[in-house]
């Protein structure tokens, strides 16, 4: 049963440290989305890619966040330096183009705690 894999599942780090979250999308999916979920804001779209090219990262704080797809099997989300307000669950999801007209498949998320 194909699924999106995210690592790590949990990450606790101190303020100022670099955090890298990884996502392996489902083979054959050409769109990848990064979302952040908090109680206050719900699910926020941070960035998304189609065929490995970044299409929109307007939801992402540019000064500290970066998202890349080094190859079709790996998407990364990096925070440098991390801050306590970055504490959240980060989800990766993959799907088929066009992204919003087909179901998205979500990973189980990375729960990030920045102290």
* Interaction site with other proteins (CB under 8 A): 4, 31, 33, 35, 42-43, 45, 48, 50, 55-56, 91, 93, 97-109
Instruction: Provide the token pair at 85.
Output: 């307000």
Q: What are residue 75's DSSP bridge partners?
A: 23
Residue 100 region by backbone torsions, left for phi larger than 0, else alpha for psi between -120 and 50, else beta: alpha
Least distance (Å) between residue 16 CB and other proteins: 28
Do strands 53-56 and 65-71 pair parallel, antiparallel, or not at all (unpaired)?
A: unpaired
Nearest approach in angstroms of CB 18 to other proteins is 24
CB of 17 or CB of 74, closer to other proteins: 74
Q: What minimum distance in Å lies between the beta carbon of 76 and other proteins?
A: 18
Nearer to other proteins, 48 or 65 (CB): 48
Secondary structure of residue 85 in the 3-state scheme: helix
Q: How far is the CB of 80 from other proteins (least distance, A)?
A: 25
Residue 26: alpha-carbon gap to chain centroid: 14
């Amino acid at each position: 049963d194909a699924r999106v894999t995210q690592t790590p599942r949990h990450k606790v780090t101190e303020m100022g440290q670099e955090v890298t979250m990884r996502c392996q999308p489902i083979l054959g999916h050409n769109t990848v989305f990064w979302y952040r979920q908090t109680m206050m804001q719900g699910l926020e779209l941070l960035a998304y890619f189609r065929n490995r090219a970044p299409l929109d990262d307007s939801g992402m704080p540019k000064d500290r966040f970066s998202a890349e797809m080094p190859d079709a099997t790996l998407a990364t989300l990096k925070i440098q330096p991390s801050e306590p307000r970055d504490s959240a669950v980060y989800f990766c999801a993959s799907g088929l183009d066009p992204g919003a007209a087909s179901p998205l498949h979500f990973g189980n998320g990375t729960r990030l705690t920045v102290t």
